[in-house]
Amino acid sequence: MRKLDAAIAEALGREITWQRKVKTGGRRIKPTYVYYACSADDICAQLFYAGTEVEVPKFHKDGNAMLELDREMQARGFMLMVEVYNEGYSASYWICHAKEWTDDHVSDNMPKAVALAAYKALTGKEWVEND
């Protein structure tokens, strides 16, 4: 699902890069790392904003990252609606400038449902995981 996080970051206008973070020395308190470029399919790949050592948030999994994403979406004129069911969550965004809703996106965890709805609102396309 990190590919979904990458697609959302790109849709928000951020450049991203996939890198392998390798510890090269230092102690537990102040370790040193080297970053190597890699593909998204590399098992050790981590997702960073381009030119930084800042990791792209896990929008699909982390509640705090989900709230950051929603704050960014609100700034762009989108309004989130989440419904809670016995089996999970349904999320959709109201697109204020188009005066329409995105489709409902259902998941067993709320951050993933919100991430899927945000991707649809930003791109107009449904998310398809390419393995």
Helix 2-11 and helix 110-123, axial crossing angle in degrees, nearest 10: 40
Cα→Cα distances 72→10, 38, 62, 129, Å: 13, 28, 15, 23
- Please report the pLDDT score of residue 131 as a whole number: 53
The answer to whether the beta carbons of residues 115 and 107 sit under 8 Å apart is: no
- Please report the pLDDT score of residue 45 as a whole number: 81
The answer to whether the beta carbons of residues 96 and 78 sit under 8 Å apart is: yes
Q: Would you write out the chain's pLDDT as a tens digit for each of its 131 residues?
A: 789 999 999 999 999 989 887 878 777 777 777 888 888 887 778 888 988 878 999 999 999 999 999 999 999 999 999 999 888 999 999 887 767 787 888 899 999 999 999 999 999 899 988 75
Q: Domain map of the chain by residue range?
A: 2-49, 63-123
- Please report the pLDDT score of residue 83 as a whole number: 92
- Token readout for 89 is 């969550």
The answer to whether the beta carbons of residues 118 and 103 sit under 8 Å apart is: no
pTM of the model: 0.83
- Please report the pLDDT score of residue 95 as a whole number: 83
Give dist(CA 94, CA 77) in Å, integer: 8
